[in-house]
Structure 1
């Protein structure tokens, strides 16, 4: 990868980090600080995250359309600066409703990253796309991991408002650095990506529709699991590590450790996807989730950390699979919009995931949520088994045409 592409790849990775960091700051703040600040329960507070998650999904499609029609680099600049300003302003909120408004605007700008940034990653690495997506995915997962510990430390040191403000200032600074250091578009990468023969040209229409349908189903269900478990994990650890860790920093650090360890699964899965059948790898990852959730039922104390690492390894490991498959069956000129549709499905379901977490926490506790996630994972496994056995499924990605 040329030097300029490596620098832009770094900024794209930072963007993925910020994207997931900002979306989950409120999850940690709601679990660790806001119940005392606003005299409300956790279940009451997390409902205010819903507008942000709705925006996260709803604005992905227009962001992808704008990127294809205007400028992907321009959209990334808007992403960095917009999400940073929104984070700073959310830190000034005085009521839960004002926080919800701030989270909505965070969601609007966060929606830009996946249809735009992921497309730019794929085009920078048209060969061995799985590995590139895996590396980028680890950065996103480290954003998930860091949300809890950054929020926890800032809550203990200076209060919950700085948990939004400090990352906001950092994102704005990163956006300005991107403007200065990444001035030129990656025309060479675009040409290289365009030279790769699109896999869908050799697929029967019925087979292609089947693949897209299964991608849509597994994306929706997988996102439901991802959003539910990443949002709930700080609260799971706070409840089940009670008496082991007591401070917000310690709970946040525990969540960070779980997410950080689990994020490494994407590196392994990315390499496996480039070398082996996507269908086989996908079935393996989805199938193992069912016993992982069931084994987590009833765990408390330090064993819950082991259980959390197990199911988060599999949740994170599943992320690059659909993206790699889509990269094989879409052409560059439509790729942002196709990814946008995927992420509309992916993140819109988060609007249902958050109330579901609240309902299950109030009625059955987190054991009931683990059982529900096992059932959803079982459906994903069955969907993967229905994937057709065609070359795009069973063979590693091909090299660019010469």
Structure 2
């Protein structure tokens, strides 16, 4: 599939919209709290439903993607995200927005187990394809962190949801008009890949699951918490909220580029050789970030986000490399359900934990999570064991 085809473009836009909408609340809850007369730490638990459904809903979404077909599920994704974003804009209290965010999380759960397998199913260089897709997704976070904050402050927090919601509805129409339907659902296709030996498969899946948990905790804490982290700890350098928003946009935009580099490397070198150092280097950077403030924290944040985003493509790459396309949506869904199921609790407790322990302690905890992830990845089988899974020529 060409990167410039309508299918690839819309699938990459879908990744951007998925991440944009799922974190808008985290970057506008400061504005919403001011309007509703509450502390931002009181709003963070109401994000739990969205992140829980984003993870646990992936099991159902993955199964439906393999059995119903990925085309129809992507139409449902775009339409559902658009409608639920508009519903969120109508909310007027914490419980309403919590319920509406949970609904959005259910639709958001569709993209990763459906959109990414659909994108890579005919890719020649799947590493770079995943890298481009990851860049698109993380640019969605960058837009949410920068543009959404500005929109919320200038035009009201509701518009921060209305604008991406309308974009999603337009994409739904474009997807129906421009993307050809599948001839048959993935689960009905012939198997093209030789299965890994059971012992190796069990080991890989266990490591994949564990790193999904540690990686999701790090990813969700940083993407949801960086706004308040900078707001609290760069006061000596920046006072204007618009400048803080720009700092966040710069951090996430630069970090997103890491996925292009990592994608290229995945196509050329063994996954383990690239994955291990990227996760290990997160440990000292989180520890440094826990001790610095102002511009030093800004520079350090760019560094650790480069590594956090750089680690994202590996699990998808392992699934593409060793799992047959007939069941990739289900495997991806299971991985996301476990990872985001655990990390959603962490994000929901973000406000209370920061209020109780402070950001320095929480950054040290992230360093511990990264170290545990490094230990797990170090136990991945070597390429000799993994090479038994070979892809037959596409028919």
Give TM-score scaled by structure 2 length.
Answer: 0.94
Shift of 1:135: 0.5
Q: Residue 39 of structure 1 aligns with which residue?
A: 37
Tell me if structure 2 keeps the 8 A contact 1:60–1:340.
Answer: yes
Q: Residue 211 of structure 2 aligns with which residue?
A: 218
Tell me if structure 1 keeps the 8 A contact 2:276–2:377.
Answer: yes
Q: Residue 143 of structure 1 aligns with which residue?
A: 140
- 1:140 and 1:380 mapped to 2: Cα distance? 22
Tell me if structure 1 keeps the 8 A contact 2:85–2:165.
Answer: yes
Give the alignment of 1:33-72 within 5 angstroms. 33-72=31-70
Question: 2:182 aligned with 1:185, yes or no?
Answer: yes
Unmatched runs of 5 consecutive residues or more in structure 2? none
Secondary structure in structure 1 of the residue aligned to 2:246: helix
Equivalences, count: 394
- 2:261 and 2:190 mapped to 1: Cα distance? 27
Deviations 1:144-164 (A, max 9, x none): 111111211212221111111
Tell me if structure 2 keeps the 8 A contact 1:55–1:107.
Answer: yes
Deviations 1:38-94 (A, max 9, x none): 222222111110111111112111111111111211110110011111001101101
Cα separation, partners in 2 of 1:180 and 1:236, compared to 1, 3 Å: same
Shift of 1:332: 1.4
Question: 2:151 aligned with 1:158, yes or no?
Answer: no
- 1:385 and 1:115 mapped to 2: Cα distance? 26
- 2:385 and 2:256 mapped to 1: Cα distance? 26
Q: Residue 172 of structure 1 aligns with which residue?
A: 169
Deviations 1:347-383 (A, max 9, x none): 2123212134223311221111110000011111111
Secondary structure in structure 1 of the residue aligned to 2:312: helix
Deviations 1:311-340 (A, max 9, x none): 101110111011101111111111111111
Q: Residue 384 of structure 1 aligns with which residue?
A: 377
Unmatched runs of 5 consecutive residues or more in structure 1? none
Cα separation, partners in 2 of 1:399 and 1:318, compared to 1, 3 Å: farther
Give the alignment of 1:289-304 within 5 angstroms. 289-304=282-297
Q: Residue 75 of structure 2 aligns with which residue?
A: 77
- 1:211 and 1:86 mapped to 2: Cα distance? 36
